[in-house]
């Protein structure tokens, strides 16, 4: 009987102890990666997060092809990740569509939102709400070849655009005297993302308050004319296609150009791919007596339809918190969007990165309304045509502006 009672007693014991631990919540994180090293770093960061948050698991999904189109489709189909990357360029459209969760209510004083660079946060504000927290950023700086400068008798970087043009002529070398240029003074990128601050320097605007393109105004054309004149009249600048390379960083690393305007991403690339190139960086030369540069940033945002908002916020706040951001940016491939982290890592004193960090205060955010593709595609196609001398600059820009606005009108009317 004692044995029977023992058996019955065991059968009546509660089973809660067997499965007392709650099942972890799994949230999805969507984004892209630019390199295996970046993917490995994020994986390590997510593992650290899971150690500190035992009740949350993160499933990371890499979407490198047609990222924005994929995200739009999934948001409509209610299948988007709980947390995902959002580029500042695409942010105005997403914020206007009521598909993102406002983050204001989640942010506490301890999170220290004033620690973020204000210029970065502003790209993710819409109708008095904050929808994204920038994970990192880069501005543009002037990179120059120190040996090429020494050979041309130059010791300091140009301070104004007129000086840059004069330097470029000195740095353009035809060693064989056969009309083939072996080294151009400057490497030019014709995309709007690299030209926008020049339009702004003379008072031009990219878009009006309704989101329509306005870059073809006389003020904006003054900045673009500088580029055309240097390329066509001075013959001291080259595009990547002119010298058989795939990027501005590559034509600089190969010695095809002595100066180029690039972002923070150029530093690890040049150090790894062209370790023998001695280079330095400086703030961009002023245009029309105005400082200018571009700033590019990406934020973590929360899907408004997520069923796990508390857990999604825990992930966002860790990745953009001081600890997570320090781990994310300590290798130097990206700049931290928190001022305290930049100081902790010494980027504000780093000879190669000081110009990039300094520029964020006055940089022009890369953001052009709710329909950026219509504007960038038409500008890029027509501006390169003017650069090659196939049509006058004003004609090219008016054509680009008109075609962009017709497309915006059609798209906005269909939504």
Tell me: do 338 and 272 sit in the same domain. Answer: no
User: What is the rounded average pLDDT of the residues 60-67?
Assistant: 94
pTM for the complete prediction? Answer: 0.92
Cα separation of the two ends of the chain: 78
- Distance CA(75)–CA(233), nearest Å, equals 49
Residue with the larger pLDDT of the pair 46 and 35: 46
Long-range contacts from 404-408, C-beta under 8 angstroms, 24+ separation: 404/212, 404/213, 404/374, 404/375, 404/377, 404/378, 404/379, 405/212, 405/213, 407/371, 407/374, 407/378, 408/211, 408/212, 408/213, 408/369, 408/371, 408/374, 408/375
Mean pLDDT, the chain, integer: 93
In contact, 142 and 282? CB cutoff 8 Å: yes
- Distance CA(125)–CA(147), nearest Å, equals 44
The pLDDT assigned to 175 comes to 57
Q: Three-state SS for 117?
A: coil
The pLDDT assigned to 4 comes to 38
Is the pLDDT at 305 greater than 80? The verdict is: yes
Between CA 69 and CA 260, with CA 89 as vertex, the angle to 5 degrees is 115
346: pLDDT confidence band, cut at 50, 70 and 90? very high
The pLDDT assigned to 52 comes to 96
Is the pLDDT at 40 greater than 90? The verdict is: yes
Is the pLDDT at 35 greater than 90? The verdict is: no
- Distance CA(412)–CA(93), nearest Å, equals 11
The pLDDT assigned to 177 comes to 59
Tell me: do 252 and 386 sit in the same domain. Answer: yes
In a domain, 9, yes or no: no
Is the pLDDT at 168 greater than 50? The verdict is: yes
Structure tokens belonging to residue 373: 């593709």
Tell me: do 161 and 274 sit in the same domain. Answer: yes
Tell me: do 73 and 95 sit in the same domain. Answer: yes
* Antiparallel, parallel or unpaired: β 132-139 and 129-130: unpaired
413: pLDDT confidence band, cut at 50, 70 and 90? confident
Tell me: do 85 and 165 sit in the same domain. Answer: no
User: What is the rounded average pLDDT of the residues 160-169?
Assistant: 98
In a domain, 19, yes or no: no
The pLDDT assigned to 174 comes to 80
Residue 402's CATH number? 3.40.190.10
In contact, 407 and 399? CB cutoff 8 Å: no
For the stretch 77-100, pLDDT in tens is: 889 999 999 999 999 999 999 999
The pLDDT assigned to 180 comes to 79
For the stretch 122-135, pLDDT in tens is: 999 999 999 999 99
User: What is the rounded average pLDDT of the residues 96-118?
Assistant: 97
Structure tokens belonging to residue 33: 């990666």
Element at 8 (helix H, strand E):
helix 2-11
In a domain, 170, yes or no: yes
394: pLDDT confidence band, cut at 50, 70 and 90? very high
Beta strands per DSSP E along 213-292 = 237-238, 257-262, 279-282
What lies within 8 Å, CB to CB, of 255 at 6+ separation is: 145, 148, 183, 277
357: pLDDT confidence band, cut at 50, 70 and 90? very high
The pLDDT assigned to 83 comes to 98
User: What is the rounded average pLDDT of the residues 263-276?
Assistant: 96
Tokens 């003017």, residue?
Answer: 386
Tell me: do 224 and 245 sit in the same domain. Answer: yes
Q: Three-state SS for 322?
A: helix
Q: Helices 322-329 and 309-319 sit at what angle, rounded to 10 degrees? A: 50
Tell me: do 105 and 58 sit in the same domain. Answer: yes
Q: Which of 400, 83, 366 is nearest to 213 (CA)?
A: 400
Structure tokens belonging to residue 327: 């781990």
Least reliable range by pLDDT among 64-73, 224-233, 291-300? 64-73
In a domain, 277, yes or no: yes
In a domain, 279, yes or no: yes
Tell me: do 163 and 250 sit in the same domain. Answer: yes
In a domain, 219, yes or no: yes
What domain count does the chain have? 2
In a domain, 194, yes or no: yes
Is the pLDDT at 399 greater than 70? The verdict is: yes
- Distance CA(335)–CA(409), nearest Å, equals 37
Tell me: do 199 and 268 sit in the same domain. Answer: yes
User: What is the rounded average pLDDT of the residues 236-245?
Assistant: 96
In contact, 285 and 261? CB cutoff 8 Å: no
Tell me: do 213 and 248 sit in the same domain. Answer: yes
Tell me: do 274 and 388 sit in the same domain. Answer: yes
In a domain, 18, yes or no: no
Tell me: do 383 and 359 sit in the same domain. Answer: no
Q: Which of 196, 187, 152, 136 is nearest to 327 (CA)?
A: 136
The pLDDT assigned to 3 comes to 35
User: What is the rounded average pLDDT of the residues 380-394?
Assistant: 97
- Distance CA(232)–CA(245), nearest Å, equals 20
User: What is the rounded average pLDDT of the residues 205-210?
Assistant: 95
15: pLDDT confidence band, cut at 50, 70 and 90? very low
- Per the document, the length of the chain is 415
In contact, 338 and 319? CB cutoff 8 Å: no
Domain that holds residue 30: 25-137+295-365
């Amino acid at each position: 009987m004692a044995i029977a009672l023992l058996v019955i007693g065991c059968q009546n014991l509660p089973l809660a102890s067997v499965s007392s631990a709650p099942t972890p919540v799994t949230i999805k994180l969507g984004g892209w990666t630019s390199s295996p090293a970046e993917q490995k770093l994020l994986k390590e960061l997510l593992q650290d997060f899971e150690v500190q948050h035992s009740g949350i698991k993160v499933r990371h999904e890499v979407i490198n092809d047609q990222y924005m189109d994929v995200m739009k489709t999934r948001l409509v189909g209610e299948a988007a990740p709980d947390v995902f990357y959002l580029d500042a360029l695409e942010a105005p459209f997403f914020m206007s569509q009521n598909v993102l969760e406002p983050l204001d209510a989640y942010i506490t004083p301890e999170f220290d939102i004033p620690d973020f660079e204000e210029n970065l946060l502003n790209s993710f504000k819409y109708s008095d709400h904050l929808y994204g927290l920038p994970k990192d950023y880069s501005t543009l700086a002037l990179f120059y070849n120190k040996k090429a400068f020494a050979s041309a008798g130059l010791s300091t970087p140009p301070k104004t655009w007129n000086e840059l043009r004069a330097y470029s002529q000195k740095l353009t070398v035809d060693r064989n005297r056969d009309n083939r240029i072996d080294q151009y003074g400057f490497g030019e990128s014709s995309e709007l993302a690299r030209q926008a601050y020049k339009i702004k320097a003379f008072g031009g605007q990219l878009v009006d308050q309704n989101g329509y393109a306005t870059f073809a105004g006389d003020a904006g054309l003054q900045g673009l004319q500088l580029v055309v004149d240097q390329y066509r009249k001075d013959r001291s600048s080259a595009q990547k296609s002119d010298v058989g390379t795939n990027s501005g960083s590559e034509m600089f690393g190969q010695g095809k150009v002595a100066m180029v305007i690039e972002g923070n991403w150029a530093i690890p690339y040049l150090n790894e791919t062209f370790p023998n190139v001695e280079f330095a960086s400086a703030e961009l030369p002023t245009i029309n007596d105005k400082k200018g540069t571009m700033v590019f940033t990406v934020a973590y945002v929360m899907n408004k339809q997520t069923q796990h908002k508390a857990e999604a916020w825990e992930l966002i706040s860790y990745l953009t918190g001081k600890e997570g951001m320090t781990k994310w940016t300590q290798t130097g491939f990206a700049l931290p969007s928190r001022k305290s982290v930049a100081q902790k890592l010494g980027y504000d004193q780093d000879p190669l990165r000081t110009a990039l960090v300094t520029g964020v205060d006055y940089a022009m955010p890369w953001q052009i309304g709710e329909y950026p593709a219509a504007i960038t595609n038409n500008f890029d196609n027509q501006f390169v045509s003017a650069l090659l001398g196939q049509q006058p600059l004003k004609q090219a820009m008016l054509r680009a502006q008109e075609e962009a606005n017709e497309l915006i009108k059609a798209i906005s009317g269909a939504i």
